[in-house]
Structure 1
Amino acid sequence: MTTHLPQFNRALLHPRYWLTWLGIGLLYLVVLLPYPVIYRLGCGMGRLAMRVMKRRARIAHRNLELCFPEMSEAERQKLVEKNFESVGMGLMETGMAWFWPNWRVERWFDVSGVEPVKALLAQKQGILLIGVHFLTLELGARIFGMHTPGIGVYRPNDNPLLDWLQTWGRLRSNKTMLDRKDLKGMIKALKSGEIIWYAPDHDYGPRNSVFVPLFAVEQAATTSGTWMLAKMSKACIVPFVPRRKPGGKGYELIALEPECQPPLGDAEETAAWMNKVVEKCILMAPDQYMWLHRRFKTRPQGVPSRY
């Protein structure tokens, strides 16, 4: 499969990138520390970030208010605080995903549910691997790729250095990467019996979206990409959840049961079904989901903003 991925070049050593290199170096040094120390540093950094990132804290609070109106204010506030601890850990886990050797990743992970995935791949069955936006996303993709290497779908970073680094890090345990706009490339890979990592849970704007329920929100803009990919490729759909165990005791990656006959009547039907799957995944680790994203920013025409 031909794809044009960013390569390291001498231009990335230009002084304009020195501050970024410094940050990368510091992250590399931090993730050399024992994991319990990393855990304490990450959670502490997240609590500090909550005081600084006040706008994002309000967005997270509002998302929880919209999704779980029955939740008490005290419960909601506590969940936001835990979520920001996960934000801090998310940075650490990105460094762990990019820089840790395989043996160290495996030491801290319990993995379940991947055998059915391997069996499908052995039959040359394409798999649409649904990875919702947990803050453990990078580390989860690394461990899944160590068991069943596949193809990542991503948005190129505007910073050329970070674009190269994230590609290098993700290719440590996967075959290649595809731009999230490359629908033809994804369909071709799925038809060839590959595994494609795909995240259908964010608000990607009005284009190619439909309005279907998500938790208590009746009209959540949801990508129709799942419907197009599954319908055109006949892929099986496999959701997976990488979640952090309480108290810094490591991680578990759980692949849910494959669905090889998803509802594909139309984009709305598939999106509504997919959101039910997303809900199930989120509820397995609600404090570790990316609530900071304005998930409900796109509204039907004439309907006021929720933020």
Structure 2
Amino acid sequence: MAKPKKISTLNQSIWPYLSPRHWPTWFGVGIAWLLAHLPWKLQRFLGKQVGRLIHKVSARRRNICLTNLQLCYPTMTQNEREQLTKKHFESMGMGFFEMLISWFFPVEHTAPRVTFSGEALLKETFEQGKGCVIIGGHFSSIDLCGGQMTRFVKVHPIYKLQSNPVLNWIMERQRERTFEKTIERSNMREVVKTLKDNCAVWYAVDQDYGRKASVFAPFFGVNCATIAHIGKVSRITDAPVLLYDYYRTETGYHISLQATPDGFPYLDDVENAVAMNKMMEKLINSKKEQYFWTHRRFKTQINEGDKDPY
């Protein structure tokens, strides 16, 4: 069965998505709206419970997480990996509620719970007038913290279309409300335009986008497909690159922008991939349970046709 085609809904009316076949999705969206309006502490509690439930019933996702942890942390005991897996699912459950907050509330709603570091670095970077490429990873609070970043820097995130047209309609409008502009990941012309306008583009560089868009570099000692064109984007525009970190705390969230290593990005795509993966490892190690371990990071193998570990 062919996969549904992913099409942008930004220039489309809502009416085509109100037909009866979409009613189940809209019913789910209504429940999501109600959940988004629950008190924050209750959302955290329920998020953990949702995560625990998914951990019990989703053997496939549980296996992906455990496989990734075994590959990335071979010295961990099996019990340690299982405990970290449980915490990871709890974190992802909380991330579900944070995603709903980002859908239905403006960024000001959560602003009092957010701290930020990197103001001086940002000022120095944008004084160059060349924009900025921001790189980061996928952690469970990505939706909420991504929106919060707009309070500190004019950023245009790179995004991927969804298969469900109703969810696409909602998410694209949420992004349009939050961000001045979003850029579909294949639209390189808009990326260059954003940087020339002295704005930032934001790439999550820790997922497998397939063989054509990647080079292979070690990630926790295991070779994996890593996005290849960050260096190209920076070279074309002469834009500096900053590292984006964010995480959930006991009382809220922290966001930071940090300098990348001297000379980065380099001329060689593989060297860039090695450096980016090292940066991601450092971010992950400080908050392991919040990382997206349920993503099939190693699904593309160096030798085409080799079986992936999942």
Report if TM-score (shorter chain) is over 0.5: yes
SS of 1:69's equivalent? coil
Code of the residue aligned with 1:284 in structure 2: it is S
Q: Cα deviation per residue 1:148-175 (whole Å; 9 max; x = unaligned)? A: 2311211111222111211111223311
Confirm or deny: 8 A CA contact 2:132 2:201 kept in the other structure: yes
Q: How well do the aligned residues superpose, as a CA RMSD in angstroms?
A: 1.9
Question: How many Å separate the matches in 2 of 1:255 and 1:191?
Answer: 20
User: Where does residue 279 of structure 1 map in the other structure?
Assistant: 281
Code of the residue aligned with 1:300 in structure 2: it is I
User: Where does residue 145 of structure 2 map in the other structure?
Assistant: 140
User: Where does residue 97 of structure 1 map in the other structure?
Assistant: 102
Confirm or deny: 8 A CA contact 1:6 1:164 kept in the other structure: no
1:87: how far off? 1.6
TM-score by length of 2: 0.91
User: Where does residue 178 of structure 1 map in the other structure?
Assistant: 183
Residue of 84, 100, 103 corresponding to 1:79:
84
SS of 2:116's equivalent? strand
In percent, how many aligned pairs have the same letter? 34
Confirm or deny: 8 A CA contact 2:133 2:240 kept in the other structure: yes
1:304: how far off? 4.2
Residue of 227, 241, 246 corresponding to 1:242:
246
Code of the residue aligned with 1:223 in structure 2: it is I
SS of 1:206's equivalent? coil
Q: Cα deviation per residue 1:267-298 (whole Å; 9 max; x = unaligned)? A: 11111111111112212321111111110011
Single out whichever of 55-64 and 293-302 deviates more from structure 2: 293-302
Q: What aligned pairs does 1:23-62 form with structure 2 within 5 A after superposition?
A: 23-62=28-67
Inter-CA distance 258–304: structure 2 relative to 1 (3 Å threshold) = closer
- Is 1:195–2:203 an aligned residue pair? no
Return 5+ residue gaps in structure 1 as ranges.
none
- Is 1:5–2:7 an aligned residue pair? no
SS of 1:256's equivalent? strand
Inter-CA distance 13–233: structure 2 relative to 1 (3 Å threshold) = same
Runs of 4+ residues over 3 Å off in structure 1? 3-8, 258-261
Question: How many Å separate the matches in 1 of 2:11 and 2:137?
Answer: 25
SS of 1:152's equivalent? strand
Question: How many Å separate the matches in 2 of 1:67 and 1:209?
Answer: 20
User: Where does residue 4 of structure 2 map in the other structure?
Assistant: none
Confirm or deny: 8 A CA contact 1:28 1:95 kept in the other structure: yes
SS of 2:218's equivalent? strand
- Is 1:20–2:22 an aligned residue pair? no
Question: How many Å separate the matches in 2 of 1:116 and 1:136?
Answer: 23
User: Where does residue 253 of structure 2 map in the other structure?
Assistant: 251
Question: How many Å separate the matches in 2 of 1:103 and 1:134?
Answer: 21
Inter-CA distance 158–305: structure 2 relative to 1 (3 Å threshold) = closer
Inter-CA distance 305–22: structure 2 relative to 1 (3 Å threshold) = same
Q: Kindly tell me the number of residue pairs found equivalent between the two proteins.
A: 302
Return 5+ residue gaps in structure 2 as ranges.
1-7
Confirm or deny: 8 A CA contact 1:112 1:253 kept in the other structure: yes
